[in-house]
Amino acid sequence: MLIFFGRWLKGLIVGWLMALIFFLIKRAMKRAFGNVADFDQQAQQARQAHRPPHSADIIETLWDGMTTSQLIASYGQPDQKYRDGQAREIWTYMRMTGRTDPTEITIENGSVTKWQAAAFKEITNKN
């Protein structure tokens, strides 16, 4: 019984020493580099604070029939807008897909009807 208690006490002391060592290393890293985890959490909270409630399901998603307000909530203002007819607009986003290919989105009567990769051309903002 005494041997068991001695081993248990030794394990307890070693465990506390390891926890203390990791705490000291973490504190030294925090002093050296700042609290990176807190910065990531603060940045995420700041991004979420500007979103309307229940909008997480439409972020970076595009579908047929999507309204212009949903499109702006998902991707922001387009780099270029121009009218092609009475009720038809074409919005161009330069980096919608994460690549350098611009994307053209056709909007008719306030909702998305078509989108496609556009040929690269000089963009001038014509609101």
Q: What is the CATH number of the domain that holds 65?
A: 3.30.1450.10
Domain count, the chain: 2
Yes or no: say if 122 and 102 are a contact pair by the CB < 8 Å rule. Answer: no
In a domain, residue 122? The reply is no
pLDDT of 10 higher than 60: yes
Residues 27 and 64 in one domain: no
pLDDT band at 73 (very low <50, low <70, confident <90, very high): confident
In a domain, residue 39? The reply is yes
Nearest-angstrom CA–CA distance, 55 and 72: 12
Q: What pLDDT does 60 receive?
A: 63
- Written as six digits, the tokens of 86 are 């009475």
Residue 38 CB-half CA count within 13 A: 4
Yes or no: say if 58 and 70 are a contact pair by the CB < 8 Å rule. Answer: yes
Provide mean pLDDT across the span 14-34: 90
* Residue numbers of the domain that contains 30: 2-49
In a domain, residue 124? The reply is no
Q: What pLDDT does 42 receive?
A: 62
Q: What pLDDT does 116 receive?
A: 86
pLDDT of 72 higher than 90: no
Q: pTM of the full predicted structure?
A: 0.48
Residues 73 and 92 in one domain: yes
Proportion of the chain above pLDDT 70, given as a percent: 68
pLDDT band at 2 (very low <50, low <70, confident <90, very high): confident
Provide mean pLDDT across the span 65-82: 87
